[in-house]
């Protein structure tokens, strides 16, 4: 029985050390296997135009949802709040690097000198993403005052 138990222990130790075969470890340091992290999508939203409002004319507001992650994102929703326009927009499945673009044709000065907007992709957190903190973009398009374009919810230029 003792030989069998020792043989089993040796087999278990060999399996446990297999990921570290050939690795040089210092005396007293224990090797711990590391699990691979599953790839996930990462959804962001960007506003492309206008950089500013000019005159009292209506201008288009162009925006996109990007998947900057390493896995495909399933169908989801983009919440858009642009002045008087409030809507949930369907976003088709997006592979890594793909985007969906919308053009809202009526960004306007309205009665004042600015248009306030909020875009929020996957607001209800239905999709497990690699970064859940970069899904919302708030801003103001002002009369004769520029804001950076493109402007993205992750702070980068895409």
Whether 73 is covered by a domain: the verdict is: yes
Whether 118 is covered by a domain: the verdict is: yes
Number of domains in the chain: 1
Burial of 25 (0-12, 13-18, 19+ CB in 10 A): exposed
Quick one: pLDDT at residue 145? 67
What kind and span of H or E run contains 9?
helix 2-17
Q: Once rounded to an integer, what is the mean pLDDT over residues 2-6?
A: 51
Quick one: pLDDT at residue 13? 53
Q: Return the CATH number at 117.
A: 2.60.40.10
SS3 104: strand
Whether 76 is covered by a domain: the verdict is: yes
Whether 23 is covered by a domain: the verdict is: no
Quick one: pLDDT at residue 1? 46
Whether 32 is covered by a domain: the verdict is: no
Q: Which domain range does residue 66 map to?
A: 43-152
**Distance between CA 10 and CA 89 in Å, rounded?**
59
Whether 63 is covered by a domain: the verdict is: yes
Whether 102 is covered by a domain: the verdict is: yes
Whether 9 is covered by a domain: the verdict is: no
In this predicted model, what pLDDT tens digit does every residue of 115-152 receive, in sequence order?
Answer: 778 999 999 999 999 999 999 999 887 766 667 778 89
Q: What is the DSSP letter of 53?
A: B
Quick one: pLDDT at residue 137? 93
Which residues, in sequence order, are bridge partners of residue 13?
A: none
Beta-carbon count within 10 A of 42 CB: 21
Q: Is 126 left (phi over 0), alpha (psi -120 to 50) or beta?
A: alpha
In three-state form (DSSP H/G/I as H, E/B as E, the rest C), the secondary structure along 112-138 is CCEEEEEEEECCCCCCCCCCCCCCEEE
In this predicted model, what pLDDT tens digit does every residue of 48-107 receive, in sequence order?
Answer: 876 666 666 666 788 899 999 999 999 999 998 887 778 899 999 999 999 999 887 766
Quick one: pLDDT at residue 31? 62
Starting at the edge strand that comes first in sequence, how are the strands of the sheet with 151-152 ordered?
99-107, 59-67, 43-49, 151-152
């Amino acid at each position: 029985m003792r030989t069998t138990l020792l043989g089993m222990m040796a087999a278990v130790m060999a399996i446990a050390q297999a990921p570290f075969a050939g690795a040089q470890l210092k005396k007293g340091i224990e090797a711990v296997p590391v699990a691979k992290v599953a790839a996930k999508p990462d959804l962001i939203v960007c506003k492309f135009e206008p950089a500013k409002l000019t005159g009292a004319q209506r201008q288009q507001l162009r925006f996109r949802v990007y998947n900057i992650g390493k896995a495909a994102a399933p169908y989801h929703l983009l919440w858009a709040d642009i002045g008087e326009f409030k809507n949930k927009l369907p976003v088709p499945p997006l592979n890594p690097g793909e985007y969906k673009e919308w053009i809202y044709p009526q960004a306007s000065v309205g009665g004042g000198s600015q248009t306030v907007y909020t875009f929020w992709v996957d607001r209800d957190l239905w999709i497990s993403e690699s970064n859940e903190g970069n899904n919302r973009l708030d801003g103001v398009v002002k009369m004769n005052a520029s804001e950076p374009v493109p402007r993205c919810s992750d702070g980068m230029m895409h």
